[in-house]
Amino acid sequence: MNSEAQNFDGTYEVIDDRPAIVFEREYPVAPSQLWTTVATAPAMSRWFPSRVQLNAHQGGGIVFTGDPHMESSTGTVTNWEPERHWSFTWGDSEIDISVEPSGEGSKLTFIEFLEAENTAARNAAGWHVCLHAMQSVLTGDTMTTPLDWEPVYRGYAEKALPTGAVVPGINDRN
């Protein structure tokens, strides 16, 4: 799927004086299936940019490894409401994930509270690619070609999400 066919649905917002990117997407699966996909380490590792180890409770630890663009890191589960909502720290960012019933399926609200405003286009592009992969996981589609990240990044930059952060593979080239 090329970037021209993409709906760049991530938005930049300021929430409680914090810069954030927000995705709201609906999926044709039961809330329990969506929850399992977004809140269990084995399922997250199929669409998330890192392998995940998760101690699933408020205050529990989370470990991220295997992402070629960043060092391994740890975080903390800051909120845990099974089947509905959870959040965790990741570096200087915080990820907030909510699942709710919607029509015949489920709605996902995915928010990243950013470490800095200038990371918005970069991070929105990354999550856009991840959520595209998650769609394939949820529907059982075999994704033969993942989205090309760079055109998705350019789409979010053209949508006027803040830019300026180092972008692996684009402005770190010598």
Chain segment 25-70, per-residue pLDDT in tens: 999 999 999 999 999 999 998 898 889 999 999 999 999 998 877 7
The DSSP bridge partners found for residue 61 are 76
Q: Which residue has the tokens 């589609």?
A: 141
H-state helical runs in the chain: 31-39, 41-44, 120-139, 149-158
pLDDT value at position 145?
Answer: 58
Q: What is the mean pLDDT of the chain?
A: 90
Check if the beta carbon of residue 88 is closer than 8 Å to that of residue 62: yes
Q: What is the pLDDT of residues 2-36, one digit of tens each?
A: 444 478 999 999 999 999 999 999 999 999 999 99
Check if the beta carbon of residue 6 is closer than 8 Å to that of residue 155: yes
Q: Which residues have C-beta within 8 Å of that of residue 53, sequence separation ≥ 6?
A: 41, 61, 62, 63, 65
More confident residue, 1 or 115: 115
Helix (H) or strand (E) holding 110: strand 105-113
pLDDT value at position 171?
Answer: 65
